[in-house]
Amino acid sequence: MTSQKQAIHIDETIIVEQVKATHNLDSEIDVNATSVLNFVEDIFNLNTIPRETRKDKLQLQEHIQKGIPFSVLHLVFEIGCSCLNNVDSHSITIHLLSLLSMYPWHTKVVMMLASFAIICGKFKVASQSCHRRGLTLNLEILKQSLKSIHSSDNERLVIDDSIKSILDLTKLTIELQDSSSVILTNYWITRYVVAYASHRILGLESQKQLNELSNSSTKIKEIMTFSHQALEAKKIKENYHALLNAFQNSSNIVEVLKLIFNVKNDKEKSILDGVRMREHKNRPVGLHLFQGEGVLLLISYGKHFPFSAYFYASKRVKMIWVPIANDDLEEHIQMPESSFNYYCVLDPQRWIAPEFIRFLRDECFPTFQVGGDPIVIALDNRGRLVHSNALHMIFTWGFQLTNERTIRSSDDVIPLLENELRERTLGADRVIGDIEEQTCDFARGVRKKINDWVEDIMTKTKSSYRSYNYTSEREEALWAKESWNLKFVVGNYSKLRRWAITINKFENLHLG
């Protein structure tokens, strides 16, 4: 009893070292932890199952239990024997974890919980009259001895709350397999299982056992708070990398916009305001309107609309104003009262994803920063990032960017073809009576082939990001075109740079 009391206050660094020593790094046994956890939840949630389906559920659990790995059944035996021998909880915990040395850390938690569920499940099965036949005599005796323990409703509520915390922490551990808290998670969940089993099996010095349960439960909730924070950080990291990957490899612009505007499901229909849009009349709209179309994201800091950036933007490409609001929750976005055609985020603080703001900070700094000028991010019709700031391009070339590529219609060619055919078959009508009809049919077939070919080319052109106006490649091409005279004068950039360095040295020498 003295050793058990002292074991409650073991230093955490010692616990970590001892638990690490139980793990075998060389060979790990892979187990589907999620399926085992589902089995565990079925047992713990047995009381919530409707009475008419409970019998089938119990039979199913008995069937599943037969397939439980030997290690779990061995744990059940070890827990019972250790509790009956009244060994201190810490020593039992380390011993049990050493039995699971071959399993990964997150699997150990689930295996321990599975053994715990089997112990609890036997007690629950024992309370069902339809399953009394076939149970061993000692299990029936245990069931009878438990009646005195269940007298306290408050005690049962506390234990049930702890079991829920253990289940929640186990789920977090499966998601955070490499978390730094996984070692302590293994220790305190195992220790709670030991204390709970001792309380159920022995029922001796109930208050002492409850203190042990309470201490373990408190530790579990502390670890769960840390794990929630770690899971949130993991999700933020995964979402950010998902956004970066979508900018490079996306095939659907709507999916990219969902990542940018923090849309978790398709039920969110109205997140943008179609400001002065003729077809929407200031009504809220969803992201589906941008399917298959390129988009300009006009990014600005603060609540005021960037007029100068808007005026130079192409009217052919849809634009979404994305104001990055201040931390002041009372700041309201100010819509300009004018006949501008653009979309605006209804609630920037709600709909602009933190991952996108991080992208602006990491990838667009110092081009875009607090208090700085707006930028225009260009996405092609698949949602791929084709320009991280096309605003300079728009300012420089303006409406030259809006010229669409056109292909001449077959209507311009077919009349010439028909005239050519008639000239070449002049006089054939004396021998071939339907020569005119054949000429028209041939021309009609050619017209169809030309139109089909043109349509295919236009489709391929539209689906290619190279047809988009605001690509970085096009800006480089336009710059090369506009700066040809500079190259003619100085030859190339390296010569210009050497020329500038020479002048700079001369000026410094002259000043000196």
When mean pLDDT is compared over 76-90, 251-265, 298-312, the highest value belongs to 251-265
* pLDDT of 432 strictly over 60: yes
Among 39-53, 115-129, 238-252, 296-310, whose mean pLDDT is lowest? 39-53
Residue 188, both tokens: 């305190």
Arithmetic mean of pLDDT, 48-68: 52
Angle value at C-alpha 441, between 439 and 446, nearest 5 degrees: 95
Cβ-contact 199, 209 below 8 angstroms = yes
69: preceding bond cis by omega (within 30 degrees): no
Q: Between these two residues, 488 and 323, which has the higher pLDDT value? A: 323
Sequence-ordered list of residues with C-beta below 8 angstroms from that of 104, at least 6 positions apart, any chain: 28, 30, 177
Looking at the DSSP assignment, which residues form a beta bridge with residue 299? 322, 375
Cβ-contact 127, 55 below 8 angstroms = no
CA distance 362 to 368: 10
| CA distances in angstroms from 315 to 329, 388, 428, listed in the order given | 33, 19, 55
- What is the pTM assigned to this prediction? 0.65
Q: How far apart are the first and last CA of the chain?
A: 89
Sign of CA pseudo-dihedral 487, 492, 493, 498: negative
Among 71-85, 182-196, 276-290, 309-323, whose mean pLDDT is lowest? 276-290
CA distance 6 to 385: 61
Confidence band, pLDDT 50/70/90 cuts, at residue 451? confident
Please choose, from the candidates 379, 381, 392, the residue with its C-alpha nearest in 3D space to the C-alpha of residue 260. 379
* pLDDT of 144 strictly over 60: no
Residue 196, both tokens: 């709970």
CA distance 377 to 86: 68
Q: Between these two residues, 290 and 36, which has the higher pLDDT value? A: 290
Please choose, from the candidates 132, 114, 113, the residue with its C-alpha nearest in 3D space to the C-alpha of residue 124. 132
Confidence band, pLDDT 50/70/90 cuts, at residue 356? very high
Cβ-contact 121, 64 below 8 angstroms = no
CA distance 187 to 164: 17
- DSSP character for 428? G
Please choose, from the candidates 297, 219, 217, the residue with its C-alpha nearest in 3D space to the C-alpha of residue 257. 297
Angle value at C-alpha 200, between 199 and 204, nearest 5 degrees: 45
Checking 41-46 for CB contacts under 8 A at 24+ apart, the result is 41/167, 43/117, 43/118, 43/120, 43/121, 43/124, 44/117, 44/120, 44/163, 44/167, 46/121, 46/124
The domain segmentation of the chain, as residue ranges, is 2-237, 254-402, 410-467, 472-511
Q: Residue 321, Cα to own-chain centre: how many angstroms?
A: 24
The string of pLDDT tens digits covering residues 370-392 is: 777 889 999 988 899 999 988 88
Query: Which pLDDT score is estimated for 137?
Result: 45
Residue 101, both tokens: 């040395």
Confidence band, pLDDT 50/70/90 cuts, at residue 247? very high
Sign of CA pseudo-dihedral 482, 486, 487, 493: negative
Sequence-ordered list of residues with C-beta below 8 angstroms from that of 85, at least 6 positions apart, any chain: none
Query: Which pLDDT score is estimated for 190?
Result: 92
Burial of 399 (0-12, 13-18, 19+ CB in 10 A): exposed
**What's the length of the chain?**
512
Q: What is the CATH number of domain 254-402?
A: 3.40.30
* pLDDT of 209 strictly over 80: no
Residue 171, both tokens: 């789920």
Arithmetic mean of pLDDT, 54-61: 52
**DSSP string over 27-71:** ------HHHHHHHHHHHHTGGGS-HHHHHHHHHHHHHHHTTS-HH
CA distance 220 to 228: 12
**DSSP string over 196-230:** HHHHHHT--SHHHHHHHHHHHHHHHHHHHHHHHHH
